[in-house]
């Protein structure tokens, strides 16, 4: 499954799945993941596909800066645990979280899934900067360590890092 709330970016996701002949393997869903299930505004900093710093229900980005909202798109958001309870999808072995600002909330909404030993790895892209993310990164690591995950790889490009947690 691939979750993407932004309408513009979702169209690219679907096209990518089509071009790679993966429609039998990847289920694209135009919705957000969060710590709770809610209908809320996805505040877009830009309206082009793949734009960064789009924030669900807020207007402060992962740098701690208020964004200039160019468009508000209403989206349906689910906690991962509620999504699993409602729709009973196949459970993942590997999870990738690449969002701007709500990594921790998504993980907090996935605590039942994180208990499942079938989940072997989680890749989290997190901003590595002063203040905001230092505390956020510590909370993410702490939460995942509570479920038996350990950081095993970190590729740092000075502004963000892809951190892979494994059991």
What residue ranges define each of the domains in the chain, with the CATH number in brackets? 2-166 (3.40.50.150)
pTM of the model: 0.89
Q: Which of 153, 155, 139 is nearest to 105 (CA)?
A: 139
How much of the chain exceeds pLDDT 90, in percent? 66
Decide: 99 and 160 in contact? Cβ < 8 Å: no
Percentage of the chain with pLDDT > 70? 91
Higher pLDDT, 99 or 61: 99
CB contact at 8 A, 23 and 17: yes
pLDDT score of 152: 87
Which structure tokens are listed for 52? 């960064």
Per-chain mean pLDDT for the chain:
90
pLDDT in tens, 109-152: 999 999 999 999 999 987 655 555 566 778 898 999 999 999 88
């Amino acid at each position: 499954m691939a979750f993407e709330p932004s309408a513009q970016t979702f169209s690219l996701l679907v096209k990518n799945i089509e071009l790679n002949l993966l429609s039998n393997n990847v289920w694209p869903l135009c919705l957000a993941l969060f710590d709770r299930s809610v209908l809320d505004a996805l505040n877009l900093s830009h309206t082009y596909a793949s734009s960064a710093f789009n924030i669900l229900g807020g207007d402060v980005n992962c740098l701690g800066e208020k964004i200039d909202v160019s468009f508000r798109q209403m989206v349906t958001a689910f906690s991962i645990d509620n999504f699993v309870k409602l729709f009973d999808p196949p459970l993942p072995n590997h999870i990738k979280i690449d969002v701007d600002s709500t990594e921790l909330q998504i993980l907090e909404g996935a605590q039942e899934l994180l208990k499942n030993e079938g989940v072997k790895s989680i890749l989290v892209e997190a901003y590595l900067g002063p203040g905001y993310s230092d505390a956020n990164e510590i909370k993410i690591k702490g939460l995942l360590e509570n479920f038996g995950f350990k950081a095993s790889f970190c590729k740092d490009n000075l502004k963000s890092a892809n951190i892979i947690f494994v059991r």
